[in-house]
Amino acid sequence: MEDSETAAPYTLLGFLIRGGDGDYCGFMMDYAERVKNALLWVGLFSITFLLLQKLARLVRLWGQGSRIPGPPSPSFFGHSKLIADRAVGQNMIGYLSKMHEKYGPIVRLWMGPTQMLISVKDIAMIEEMLVKAEDKLPLIGRAFRLAFGRSTLFVSSFDKARRTRESLAVCMNNNLLERLNQLPGKVVEHVLERFVSIIAKDVPDSRQVSEHMASYILGASMFGDAFLNWSNASLYEELLVTVAKEACFWDSYRIPPFWSRRYRTYHFLCTRLKELNKDIIDESMKSRNVARKEDGTAVFIDAMMFGGSLFHGKTKKHHFSEEEQCDNILGLIFHGFLTTASLINSILTRLALHPELQENIYWEIISLKKTSKFDLSDVQKMNFLLATMYESARLLPPGPLLQRCSLNHDLKLKSGITVPAGAIIVVPLPLVHMDYSIWGKDADQFYPQHFITMTCSHKDGMLDEHEASKEITRELQIDGSFLSFGSGARSCVGQKFVILALSALFASLLDSYENTYRLDLRKKTSAWKAVCFPSLHTRDPRRTTRTSPTDNTQSYKDVAKEYFAWDYKQKQPAAEPIPEELRTLFDDQEEREHQSK
């Protein structure tokens, strides 16, 4: 038998076998020390390389930002504190307006040492930017995910959302539009029932009525008649509104305050909302077979759930769980509910503020309605009503800023300016939508003729009985002037559905009812609040002649809107340019108060 020394190979193991105990211990200690040093050097080089990469990107960002016109950074935190500071009398839009006047159509603002905000006001630049910038910044934090889950429909990267957005657009603009022939009448009936039940307890304002209408139109579209007959529909709506408002507050916290009682209540409401969402989905799925045979109610919910056409082919590696699909539905309702309710609120108020417009739309409805029920083709011909929808959306967009970004690539504009990857690109919608050079001298006024070509013979909006309205001017959307629904690759996929659905809803409502409001002036701190309370009066079906609009003084004292507020110290509106009629009312009220003192 061979000796162990001669049998041992010439390797580390063999060396250890041949060596003694002292050599073994010394070698292992030396070997471990060398390995540790090697790992430390590798770690040091790796960290240094990563830091140098970040430093190079930071220097590159500073260099590119310095070539874009804009004010210098006032502090380490940039302009973020200045914009958020309400004491200086500046809001975001007001500050951007001054910067655009000083530096031109594109302005750079530093939001910190590593974050840049680019504001674009020029129409040509906006159109080019919206085509090239396809991504959105991941601004939704943990509080939103707790409430509405991780939705795959609204991810930041456009490449990940492209297929789903295309399927969603087809589903909304085809399957859901088919249901509009029967939907408005049912929604109006349920809204009126809800309206009567609320009046018995309290006097609802326009915001409450708008939220009810938005809830029923979206719920009936998503879940079919099951939502209209659902006993928890009102609770679902209340929870959705409450959770949405609370989510905006708690999302500002980097670390959720789990010790807060209010946060624990918010957590409970989120859990309850998800339970109700699952409940209505189950109710809709149970009745889908019968509903599909009658009017196709369950087509959309089938496309959303259980691997339907909306997610078909999105990815072969990932199968969406039932929880993920429920989160997608809840996220879709959340994104549509608040914006739809705000638009309905604006439309209701505009119609009441302009009785001649309401009379105009009523006679357009009468002239185009073929049967007792509306058809989608009839609604598409009601151009004056459609123009009212667009004009209301123009003056009150879903948000003041249209935000885009390019996560991975720099944007090279035709003007020679290069926008670095990751920079926040915003379009200040109030500045674009109220630009006198684009919309004319009445850009800040409600004027549906902005979207109609040669419709009215008089600026007051009155039409002759046999005068046909013309088509809506689509060029306004093509050149980027109308941006309430966005534009380019990430434009709102539900724009067509929302406009036609609300038009059909208001056509059904105005066909039988006249919309008026009661005005209540309330003073809170230094501002007068004009809160409007809706009132629907049944129209006389035997009336065959047009009535002249009532006197403005008598009409406007019954109308207003909660978001109108006139600050007597600043002499500026709190939300949007206040109508001249309401301003007169406020000034009269101020004069009476001064005389009484």
* Token pair 């959340």: residue: 334
326 annotated binding-site participant: no
* Token pair 């699909």: residue: 325
Give residues with Cβ within 8 angstroms of 377, minimum separation 6: none
Q: How far apart are CA 140 and CA 280, in angstroms?
A: 25
Residue 317 CA from chain centroid, whole number: 31
Concatenating the DSSP letter of every residue in 142-204 gives HHHHHHH---SSS-S-HHHHHHHHHHHHHIIIIIIHHHTTTHHHHHHHHHHHHHHHHHHH---
- Among residues 443, 460, 476, the alpha carbon closest in space to that of 577 is found at 443
- Among residues 225, 129, 115, the alpha carbon closest in space to that of 179 is found at 225
- Taking residue 97's Cβ as centre, other Cβ atoms within 10 Å add up to 18
Residue 429 CA from chain centroid, whole number: 13
How far apart, in Å, are the Cα atoms of 435 and each of 95, 122, 235, 492, 564?
A: 16, 10, 42, 23, 21
DSSP 463: -
Q: How far apart are CA 140 and CA 143, in angstroms?
A: 8
- Among residues 380, 362, 383, the alpha carbon closest in space to that of 448 is found at 383
Q: How far apart are CA 36 and CA 413, in angstroms?
A: 51
Q: How far apart are CA 341 and CA 208, in angstroms?
A: 9
Burial 237-251 (b: 16+ CB within 10 A, else e): bebbbebbebbeebb
- Binding-site residue set for heme: 492
Feature table: binding site? 492
